Structure 1
Amino acid sequence: MEIPVVDFSAYGLRKNNVSVDYLEKLSDEVRKAFTDVGFVYLKNTGISQDEVDKVMVVSKKFFSLPESIKKPFSRGSFSCNGNHGWISVETESLNPRRPGDLKEAFNTASLSLDINWPSEGVEGFRDAQVSFFLRCKELSLRVLRLMALGLGLEAEVFLSAHELIGSDVNGTTLRSLYYPPVNSTSVKEKQLRCGEHSDYGSITLVFQSPEGGLQVKNRAGEFISAPSIPGTVLVNIADLMQRWTSDVYVSAVHRVLLPPAGDSGTRQSLAFFVQPDDEAIISCCDGSDKYPPVKAGDYLLSRFKESYGKK
């Protein structure tokens, strides 16, 4: 089964006068995609391809800088937020059973005004990241509202646990990801650009450059390609949302493969990882005890320990 494409135009950014009938139709389409596959492409969201390209261009300039310039901005260097900053190649193992992932990243996890941002050789880096973060936040809240409606719940059920996105007591993060050229003859055994994993929080928005490699596991347990479709955002369910909905919305496993032998190309993506507020207690919204309640911030930290445990 392929990942469905859903037209989001009537509820895209800046569209506020949406009929109840349309919201019901759209929420049904989103629910079907998330229950059948765990992923959906949304088109006509109001986030343009030009906006995506602008962030990717300035991000690639940063990743092209010498390590000596990037290192002062490393993840773990910011007292206000331990997840903010640069991550070097092979530092992270999203599948801890594999060697470190062949990617680097910059996490925009804090919008605090008093932290240092890269500027040398990357003019406008902070503004591009923060502006795109806020655009993704707005779209995410619309998706979360539809997801609640699709379950027959009050629209605010999920939104009320995401009120602090953009503050340092909410773990939502915009990741600019860069996959450098790979010599397929010299990689470590079982190494990938990004190992198989599911995301940690509520939902994730993904914007990709044209180069392929992303695969997602469907409900039949088969990995299928999730190519870049210009003008769309790929949205997937993450683990806390699966717990929250007692497995109605299922978090989908995904990975990024190595490029074919002889392919020296690079790859980029932007991933907006939506997390509930740190103090939010996530318990099954159907009233069952299928999963025990968990504090969102504690759950996120436990998952970080798995991904960075080798370092």
Structure 2
Amino acid sequence: MSQAQIPTLDIRRFTQPVSAADRAAFVSELGRAYEAWGFAGIRGHGIGEARIEAAYDVFQRFFELPEPVKMKYHLPGTGGARGYTPFGVETAKDSKHHDLKEFWHVGREIPRDSRYAQYMPPNLWPDEVAGFREHAYGLYQALDALGSSVLSALALHIGLPEDWFRDKTDQGNSILRPIHYPPITSDDIPNVRAGAHEDINLITLLVGASAAGLEVRSRRGEWVPFTADADTIVVNIGDMLQRLTNHVYPSTTHRVVNPRGEAARKPRYSTPFFLHPNPDFLIDVLPGCVTADNPRRYDAPITAQAYLDERLREIKLK
């Protein structure tokens, strides 16, 4: 199987359409891509190369800091909600081996008197890296806006109003996660850079999928490499949207495999943005996604925050 089977679409056909017919065609094509794969590439997103490069520069400079300096920003007992999570902590659900990565979490900036403040602590910002806050949060906001456009198109595809998700994600507990996969010194280790897993959230937007390693499991059980073009952001369905849509949009298993030989001796960086609903959003199967061929799969609704807490325990972040 070739990666061409995972479609890449230009979202300007939705945000700046040349015609109503082409906008409707984009909605249909995007929806079909997610029904089949749970993954798609998005180009024409308007997030400039300079913005992405500036963010990656500050992320790399942080990860190059000495370990004791990075550990100043590690907050044990918080589930890694903000700041630094060191190497060897996160473990894919049901995996025996931890992932080969360290990462940082940037969350939404909200007023401290917000009703969501208990779920979204203040961000940490490393004093040692000039421009970290500016570039990290600028990328956060750009990906948040792009994710909203993707969700608007998917809302139309499943028969909802275009703005259906807007007031359900405008205070979402979304996370930007710069990741560093250090060089691998042995080809014989049992760990992989990121074990096979599904994402927790509504959708994930991945900046930096142009580096080889991401693989997506097809419905036939085959691992399909998805190395996107440099101007493409990979967007995939998470478990929350799978549950909300009664599996119309599948949350597809994916992983980041280790390269072999000399390529393994080089670090890898990537930055996913996990778009979440507002913490009190009730994830309940949409009636329009229940049919005779696709009966309701979940009896009880659950809030986004309760679901998140449950899953963070499973991957050993809580």
- With over 3 angstroms needed to count, the CA separation of the structure-2 counterparts of 1:308 and 1:147, relative to structure 1, is same
Q: What is the aligned partner in structure 2 of residue 4 from structure 1?
A: 7
Q: Does 1:305 align with 2:313?
A: yes
Q: Which runs of 5+ in 2 are unaligned?
A: 112-121, 291-295
Contact kept, 8 Å, 2:106 with 2:176, in 1: the verdict is yes
C-alpha distance in 2 between matches for 1:75 and 1:249: 35
- Once the two structures are TM-superposed, the CA of residue 72 in structure 1 deviates from its matched residue by 1.5
Q: What is the aligned partner in structure 2 of residue 244 from structure 1?
A: 244
Aligned length: 297
C-alpha distance in 2 between matches for 1:124 and 1:298: 34
- Once the two structures are TM-superposed, the CA of residue 221 in structure 1 deviates from its matched residue by 1.8
Q: What is the aligned partner in structure 2 of residue 84 from structure 1?
A: 82
Residue from 172, 175, 181 that aligns with 1:173 = 175
C-alpha distance in 2 between matches for 1:211 and 1:137: 22
The ranges of structure 1 where at least 4 consecutive aligned residues each deviate by more than 6 angstroms after the TM superposition are none
Q: What is the aligned partner in structure 2 of residue 23 from structure 1?
A: 23
Amino acid corresponding to residue 48 of structure 1 in structure 2: G
Contact kept, 8 Å, 2:12 with 2:45, in 1: the verdict is yes
* Secondary structure of 2:280's aligned partner: coil
Q: Does 1:107 align with 2:105?
A: yes
- Once the two structures are TM-superposed, the CA of residue 207 in structure 1 deviates from its matched residue by 1.2
C-alpha distance in 2 between matches for 1:278 and 1:223: 33
Using the size of structure 2 for normalisation, the TM-score is 0.87
1:112-141 per-position Cα deviation (integer Å, ceiling 9, x unaligned): 586541021x10001111111011111111
Amino acid corresponding to residue 172 of structure 1 in structure 2: S
- Identify which range, 46-55 or 296-305, moves more after superposition: 46-55
- Once the two structures are TM-superposed, the CA of residue 77 in structure 1 deviates from its matched residue by 7.5
- What pairs up with 1:103-252 in 2 under 5 angstroms? 103-111=101-109, 115-120=123-128, 122-165=129-172, 171-185=173-187, 187=189, 189=190, 191-208=191-208, 210-252=210-252
Amino acid corresponding to residue 265 of structure 1 in structure 2: K
Contact kept, 8 Å, 1:198 with 1:254, in 2: the verdict is yes
Contact kept, 8 Å, 2:206 with 2:235, in 1: the verdict is yes
- With over 3 angstroms needed to count, the CA separation of the structure-2 counterparts of 1:75 and 1:141, relative to structure 1, is farther
C-alpha distance in 2 between matches for 1:248 and 1:185: 39
Q: What is the aligned partner in structure 2 of residue 37 from structure 1?
A: 37
1:228-263 per-position Cα deviation (integer Å, ceiling 9, x unaligned): 311111000000101111111000110011120333
Q: Which runs of 5+ in 1 are unaligned?
A: 166-170
Using the size of structure 1 for normalisation, the TM-score is 0.89
- Once the two structures are TM-superposed, the CA of residue 98 in structure 1 deviates from its matched residue by 2.8
CA RMSD in angstroms, aligned pairs only: 2.1
Residue identity over aligned pairs, in percent, reads 30
Q: What is the aligned partner in structure 1 of residue 114 from structure 2?
A: none
Q: What is the aligned partner in structure 1 of residue 91 from structure 2?
A: 93
- Once the two structures are TM-superposed, the CA of residue 286 in structure 1 deviates from its matched residue by 2.0
